[in-house]
Structure 1
């Protein structure tokens, strides 16, 4: 049985702040950034720019983000259907791409980002 319901905003904010601090740490940042990035996107309904840290895997120009506890989170829903653009930090560089979210038969959610070619 999976978690149902929203996570408390103050708890989420604390975790995101800690992750952000680790990502920029002179000591641990390089190691942490191999597995964690920050995605930035515009909310479909709110129109606000939002940034959130996520775990990822990369294979060439495709980045895969596995969403943990998807029913307790909303950010990935911005990428359902046709998807939407976003940016993410990879190798200390901001990259842009197009993301689409998919929920499988077991309820797991994956966001797939196809990176734009470097100019």
Structure 2
């Protein structure tokens, strides 16, 4: 379950701030080099969710390293066989892909996205 600072109202404010920066006409291009908005459908809720995340390009896809994974739940939608994901305004267009989350022996979580 989400807990700690990631379970407070300030998170919504920060996400909205970064979401706005990603879409900003002047600085957006620079911000999008390391941040992107993702959209996916929650496995249990069935709701469409959109949130900004940090990413790095990796071959034909991207890797999202999840900071404080035990305090967040979004990445759990991609455990096991994973699921569909959309990277919004990635290289100028919305790009769909398949995301799979994994946790290493040190507890770090990454979500690997293979773009379609």
TM-score, L = length of structure 2: 0.92
**Which consecutive residues of structure 1, in runs of 5 or more, have no partner in the other structure?**
none
1:103 alignment partner in structure 2: 103
Contact 2:7 2:71 in 1 (8 A): no
TM-score, L = length of structure 1: 0.90
CA distance in 2, matches of 1:84, 1:9: 27
CA distance in 1, matches of 2:86, 2:20: 19
Q: Is 2:16 the partner of 1:17?
A: yes
CA distance in 1, matches of 2:81, 2:7: 29
CA distance in 1, matches of 2:59, 2:95: 13
Residue 78 of structure 1 and its aligned partner are, at CA, apart by 0.2
Query: Number of matched residues?
Result: 113
SS of 1:40's partner is strand
CA distance in 1, matches of 2:58, 2:103: 20
Contact 2:39 2:49 in 1 (8 A): yes
Alignment of 1:1-119 (within 5 A): 5-6=3-4, 7-89=6-88, 90-116=90-116
Residue 15 of structure 1 and its aligned partner are, at CA, apart by 0.7
Instruction: Write out per-residue CA displacement over residues 34-84 of structure 1, whole angstroms, 9 at most, x where no aligned residue.
Output: 110011000000000000100111133221000001011000000000000
Residue 20 of structure 1 and its aligned partner are, at CA, apart by 0.9
Considering only aligned residues, what root-mean-square deviation do their CA atoms show, in Å? Answer: 1.3
Segments of 4+ moved more than 3 angstroms: none
CA distance in 2, matches of 1:20, 1:5: 22
SS of 2:12's partner is helix
